[in-house]
Amino acid sequence: MNFEELQSMQKSEDVQISIPESLLPESLPLPFYEALDQFNSAQFFLCHETLEKLWIAEKSALREIYQGVLQIAVGCFHLKERANRVGAVNKLNAGARRLERAGLTDVNSYLHGVDWDNLIYYSDALRNTLIARDVGSPPDFTMDQLPIVHFTIPKQ
């Protein structure tokens, strides 16, 4: 499988979803932040389970945030636990693009105390590293290449 074939496997999701700021709560539920801690502890399956409960129950556009982080966690799980490069590339890309479509860059990049730009950047960096390697070789990586959620205090 070459780079073009790998790219063609990625689903195209060009729908713009950006969540209006007026619809965003002041904070997200505690289980969301617990899921982020699970993510940072490389407990990607547990993170997925925690976020899935939030995502299924959520009826508002916040579903996009939950699902975006969930997809990045699944991408990391594919890589770390299954050595599945294609699955990792697809989910890292889907999650990062979903967070971008939710409007979590630029103005909202520190929304809810999370550095979204950093999460998107390092998810993309890992995806690009995996794409650049020979597809026939094992998806070698080090734990420090996995994205980490950085918590921030917004600038006043």
Domain count, the chain: 1
Residue 150 counted as domain residue: no
Residue 149 counted as domain residue: no
Cα–Cα distance for residue pair 76/30, rounded to 1 Å: 22
8-26 pLDDT tens trace: 433 333 333 344 454 445 6
Residue 145 counted as domain residue: no
- pTM of this structure: 0.80
CB 110 within 8 A of CB 142: no
Residue 104 counted as domain residue: yes
Residue 77 counted as domain residue: yes
pLDDT at 24: 47
Residue 58 counted as domain residue: yes
Residue 146 counted as domain residue: no
SS3 sequence of the chain: CCHHHHHHHCCCCCCCCCCCHHHCCCCCCHHHHHHHHHHHCCCHHHHHHHHHHHHHHCCCCCHHHHHHHHHHHHHHHHHHHHCCHHHHHHHHHHHHHHHHHCCCCHHHCCHHHECHHHHHHHHHHHHHHHHHCCCCCCCCCCHHHCCCCCECCCCC
Residue 19 counted as domain residue: no
Domain that holds residue 51: 3-10+28-136
Cα–Cα distance for residue pair 33/12, rounded to 1 Å: 29
pLDDT at 151: 83
49-105 pLDDT tens trace: 999 999 999 998 889 999 999 999 999 999 999 999 999 999 999 999 999 999 888
Cα–Cα distance for residue pair 65/98, rounded to 1 Å: 7
The yes-or-no verdict on residue 155 having pLDDT over 50 is: no
First vs last C-alpha separation in the chain: 49
CATH number at residue 73: 1.10.3450.10
